[in-house]
Amino acid sequence: MFCFQCQETAKGTGCTIKGVCGKEAETSKWQDLLLSVVRGVGTIQHTLGENASKEVADFLVDALFSTITNANFDDQSILNKVDTGIALKKQLLETALSKNITLPNYQEVHWGGEKSDYSEEGEREGVLRNENADLRSLKELTVLGLKGIAAYYDHATRLGETNEEIIAFMCKALATITAPDADKETLLGIVLETGKYGVDVMALLDKANTEAYGTPELTKVNIGVGKKPGILISGHDLKDIEDLLIQTEGTGIDVYTHGEMLPAHYYPQLKKYKHLVGNYGNAWWKQKEEFASFNGPIVFTTNCIVPPAKNANYAERVFTTNSTGFPGWKHIATGEDGKKDFSEVIALAKTCKAPQEIETGEIVGGFAHAQVFALADQVVEAVKSGAIRKFVVMSGCDGRMKSRNYYEEFAKALPKDVVILTSGCAKYRYNKLNLGDINGIPRVLDAGQCNDSYSWAVVAFKLKEIFGANDINDLPIFFNIAWYEQKAVIVLLALLHLGVKNIHIGPTLPAFVSEGVLQVLVDNFGLAGNSTVEEDIQKYIL
């Protein structure tokens, strides 16, 4: 196997024996196979020059999403997707034949899809099939960005939003990176264009979420527990928590959010449910301990899954949905009406003890762009008077590495007149520190999930307008982003597309960015890694 898509990749270069995330070499091979089928389907669809059918769009989105770090560890689930993709590819090949359309002569297009050849094709189609490091890097940057787009697109479609242009771009990008002779310039172009569609998909999801559940508003979320049995729901899919809240109403079961589901509390149409009682635990990587003490069932709507220890007391209590999967865990299918039936989860919850309390207090959030605009006068006044010196965007992901203590220490070391703008699970490093407020404006403003990083771009453009700045890079905003998986990749590409310069990413630079590509990103966008807390504060804040 060879996988280098996340920040925790082995030795900072690539996992080759087993994933640090727990992914087995066999699973990695099936994911490589699935991605080659995705490239084949995308290339043929693009060459046909017509809009993709719903089946093709659903396949591309689901397949890309399922290969995101910590989303799906279930070989059978991945192989079922391979089968679906091959069947669709055959249909597209017939369409091309009937229309006399010549298809490019790529391995991914012409591979026959025989089951007996799955294993060898998976081996052939790994990341290292591209020998040139820079070309490989640009192709991977594109496909990792597409994975992020797929995840956000999936959530938006579950709320009824679709966008043919985004799917058409996915096919175009897949065709571009599949071409064995694609040159550096073409690939760099497609990487940057991926950022544009990153902005579009985040805007689409923002619209889907706010139209369905209202505008996020300032909310205090309880982090303690009640006395009733609970269901813990993790991941990013708001439609799933809505279904669960409706089905658990009046059953005597409480619902708790976990990890990236925390922002569900900020939406009026979700927080109205009285049995949505709080948030349990922290970011994804602490789940082994937290799921054990939660006592009740856990539902994964998206990544991040950590494979449980062999003797874990919660393995029988975990359910997956959507593109996620784990061998031996029950998977809840989506019904014809787009809804889920959580009755099995609810029945199990009734037999469980209430969660064990692991902390008490509350956290404050709900500062997506509309809520920030509502405070605009206060914010502008505070900037003009000097009460706010600077904003630091610290959005992104959290992870296991010790080096991530940087973000907690950085947050603590910031002068009291600096405001942190956050989103994604990175916030768990500092959202319980009680960093206080500036004239009533909290010093940690949480916009929501990682996709809500979009809000900080919207806010930056609004501030540019208010302050009459020529460029958003002239504003007192420093971008110090923590990354882990591929949704952070699309957030980064989206910010580059919007013209944000001098973004710092950490705790380490991506292994999939080659030296040559890094140089391009440094020269054109001022991209940089983070340093020590003292040095970064001195250089970029004071």
Binding residues (CB under 6 A) for ligand SF4: these are 3-6, 8-9, 15, 19-21, 23, 69
- Measured from the CB atom, the residue of 150 and 397 that comes closer to ligand SF3 is 397
Among 287, 266, 279, smallest CA distance to 230 is for: 279
Q: Which does 84 bind (CB under 5 to 8 A by kind): ligand SF4, ligand SF3, none?
A: none
**What's the min distance (Å) between Cβ of 25 and ligand SF4?**
9
| Range 428-457, binding ligand SF3 (CB under 6 A) | 449-450
Which backbone phi and psi does 302 adopt, to 5 degrees? -155, -175
DSSP state of 222: E
Kindly tell me which residue out of 239, 258, 443, 487 binds ligand SF3, with binding defined by CB under 6 A.
487
284 binds ligand SF3 (CB under 6 A): yes
First-to-last alpha carbon distance for the chain, in angstroms, is 45
Residue closest to ligand SF4, measured at CB: 19
User: What string marks each residue from 255 to 274 as x (binds ligand SF3 by CB under 6 A) or -?
Assistant: ----xx--------------
Q: Give Dmax (Cα) for the chain.
A: 70
Q: Which two tokens stand for residue 507?
A: 């705790």
Alpha-carbon dihedral angle through residues 253, 259, 260, 262, given to the nearest 10 degrees = 50
Interacting span for ligand SF3 (CB under 6 A) from 325-333, 383-391, 436-444, 484-492:
484-492
- Cα-based distances in Å from 27 to 172, 310, 312, 530: 27, 19, 22, 33
- Show the tokens assigned to 438: 């500036």
Helix or strand or coil: residue 258? strand
In degrees, rounded to 5, the angle at the alpha carbon of residue 401 between the alpha carbons of residues 399 and 402 is 125
Nearer to ligand SF4, 69 or 247 (CB): 69
Q: Which stretch binds ligand SF3 (CB under 6 A): 55-63, 136-144, 348-356, 480-488?
A: 480-488
- Point out which span in 16-24, 166-174, 322-330, 485-493 binds ligand SF3 (CB under 6 A): 485-493
Shortest distance, CB of residue 23 to ligand SF4, whole angstroms? 4
**Contacts (Cβ under 8 Å, ≥6 apart) of 353:** 229, 295, 296
Instruction: Specify the residue, 221 or 304, whose C-beta has the smaller distance to ligand SF3.
Output: 304
- Cα-flanking dihedrals φ and ψ of residue 341, to 5°? -105, 110
Closest CA to 326 of 191, 235, 437: 235
CB of residue 90 to ligand SF3, shortest distance in Å? 35
> Hey, what amino acid is at 444?
V
Q: Cβ closer to ligand SF4: 4 or 65? A: 4
3 binds, among ligand SF3, ligand SF4, none (CB under 5 to 8 A by kind): ligand SF4
303: partner contacted, choices ligand SF3, ligand SF4, none (Cβ within 5-8 A by kind): ligand SF3
User: Is residue 72 classed as helix, strand or coil in its secondary structure?
Assistant: strand
Does residue 303 interact with ligand SF3 by CB under 6 A?
yes
Three-state SS string over 451-480 comes to HHHHHHHHHHHHHHHHHCCCCHHHCCEEEE
Closest CA to 166 of 287, 57, 268: 57
Q: Name the residue nearer to ligand SF4 (CB basis): 144 or 521.
A: 144
CB of 259 to ligand SF3, least distance (A): 5
Return the one option of ligand SF3, ligand SF4, none that residue 9 interacts with (CB less than 5 to 8 A, by type): ligand SF4
Q: Shortest Cβ distance from residue 139 to ligand SF3 (Å)?
A: 22
Q: Judged by CB under 6 A, which of 397, 418, 445, 500 binds ligand SF3?
A: 397
Q: Which residues ranging from 21 to 40 are in contact with ligand SF3 (CB under 6 A)?
A: none
Residue 484 within binding range of ligand SF3, rule CB under 6 A? yes
Under DSSP, the state recorded for 3 is B
How far is CA 262 from its chain centroid? 14
CA atoms within 13 A on the CB side of 312: 21
Residue (of 61, 48, 52) closest to 103 by Cα position? 48
Asked if 489 is part of the footprint of ligand SF3 (rule: CB under 6 A), the reply reads no
> Per CB under 6 A, which of residues 33..92 are in contact with ligand SF3?
none
Binding site for ligand SF3 (CB under 6 A): 236, 259-260, 284, 303-304, 397, 424-425, 449-450, 484-485, 487-488
